[in-house]
Amino acid sequence: MSGDKLTAAELAASIKEGALQLTEHGENVSRLCTKAQSEFNIFINFNPNDITKESERLAGKVGSGAELPLAGVPFCLADNICTLELKTTCGSRMLASYRPLTEDGAVRRLKEKGALLAAKGNMDEFGIGAGGRNSFFGAIKNPCNPEHTGGSGAAAAVASGAVSFSLATDRCGELRQAAAYCGVLGLKPTYGRISRQGLIDSAPSMEQAGIIARQTKDLASALSIVCGADPQDPTSSSCGVPDFNALIEEKPRSVKIALPYLWDDLAALEGEVKDAIAALLCRLEGNYFSLETVPLEYFHHASTTAAMISAVEAFSNLSNYDGVRFGFRGESKHLHDMYRQTRTEGFSSNLKKFLTFGALISSGKYYHDCFLKAQKMRSLIKDELEKCLLQYDLLVVPTVPFKAPLLGSGISPLLPDFAAYYTAAASLAGLPALTFPLKDPAQKGGLPVAGLQLIGKAWDEKTLLQVSLLLEEELL
């Protein structure tokens, strides 16, 4: 049995009770991952022996009677999150053989609770949104239809059934977008919920680790473990972490939902996506939910704003890739030449365009005309969203305006980035957001139709999870 239908908690229980042997289970996970890797290219530096070794280690731990709520639950880790035992490449040639000296705090917590690290997820170079089409290790295929992109290995691994959940980062919405492309759940918690120590991030003011899973209960299980203050991360919050597992059992009462006025007035919005979202919203009304349209002015500038800020931060954050101390080093005659060669050959042309964009808009007169204006717009977007969420429990919008793009279609790392049109606002405001998959009843081409995105109040992941569970169990 693959564990495909079991929740993480149920799987862990059957392992603890001995109904499922860990070594046997490990072989099964290894087989599923190997198959998924060969079909969809979702992992980097994949080695089935790593899974065998890890499950043997866990078997010893289970035998010792330790409290392991995630015993044997297989998970995938996006390859910009550090572990001591595996390489961390960020999908870049620059770090193709890089082994970090530190381990991510969230990963450490998951391992302590018995979770089984299966493999590192393939990803766009440094997580910079190109819809899973800009990895040094090749494009990521969508398990629902391999001609289309899977967005990220972390999402595709969950969709393929190889793992129960994934831990990945979300910059301007990449985690949510990939989950929507693959038809699975994706949750980006409030900025500061999960320690950022151990991430190789490119947009530190927005980037936040989150969870991708097939079932809401698995989101809750993983979230309960990875959240919490980390003294090593001054941006992490000391805000109390509730037991999400218990909280999602409560049904939400009369959730007030806001829908931005003219949410569907976007040329890039595909008709199918629009119709599916509109139909769902109709069904929600009256059923636990009240729905109102609210005028949002700045929300629509979020993706442009986020692109600018994240480009400047990426330009700065990736300045340490100079070939001096680690990673790829270009052949060169002298120091300046070494920088140039290292960065010319180590980064992809898409990434270089993005970094150049960041360098440009933070220099000379553009500093005031673009970068500072973007910073001001960010405050306006944040204030507007927070004000709206004083009166409503949730804001709903599509996750991505379109279905998973075809592989081989053009990538635009620059503006306008319509993929982030609906996701960027929550990133800029640091608010929690969850994407819920809408499956196509007619199964045209096998691709999921869309994701419904729920944006919540700061620290209120609870409502997002409760609504997600309600949709999952009763409404769809």
Residues at the interface with another protein (CB under 8 A): 82, 88, 90, 95, 98, 100-102, 104, 196-200, 204-205, 232-235, 312-313, 315-316, 318-322, 324-327, 334-336, 339, 359, 362-364, 367, 371, 375
Closest to another protein by CB, 38 vs 356, is 356
Q: Smallest distance, Å, CB 235 to another protein?
A: 6
Closest to another protein by CB, 58 vs 95, is 95
CA dist list (Å): 360 to 2, 127, 201, 243: 50, 21, 21, 45
Closest to another protein by CB, 335 vs 414, is 335
Q: Smallest distance, Å, CB 212 to another protein?
A: 21
Element (H, E) at 257: strand 255-260
Count Cβ atoms within 10 A of the Cβ of residue 138 and give its class: 0-12 exposed, 13-18 middle, 19 or more buried: exposed
Phi, psi of 405 (to 5 degrees): -65, 160
Tell me the C-alpha distance between 163 and 308, whole Å: 34
Tell me the C-alpha distance between 218 and 115, whole Å: 12
Closest to another protein by CB, 245 vs 316, is 316
Q: Smallest distance, Å, CB 333 to another protein?
A: 9
Structure tokens that stand for 100 in this block: 């970090």
Q: Smallest distance, Å, CB 381 to another protein?
A: 16
Tell me the C-alpha distance between 239 and 227, whole Å: 10
Tell me the C-alpha distance between 163 and 212, whole Å: 10
Amino acid, single-letter form, for residue 156: A
Closest to another protein by CB, 21 vs 316, is 316
Closest to another protein by CB, 43 vs 321, is 321
Closest to another protein by CB, 312 vs 431, is 312
Phi, psi of 4 (to 5 degrees): -60, -40
Structure tokens that stand for 210 in this block: 């989150």
Q: Smallest distance, Å, CB 325 to another protein?
A: 6
Q: Smallest distance, Å, CB 76 to another protein?
A: 17
Q: Smallest distance, Å, CB 452 to another protein?
A: 30
Angle between helices 153-160 and 174-182 (to 10 degrees): 30
**Length of the chain counted residue by residue:** 476
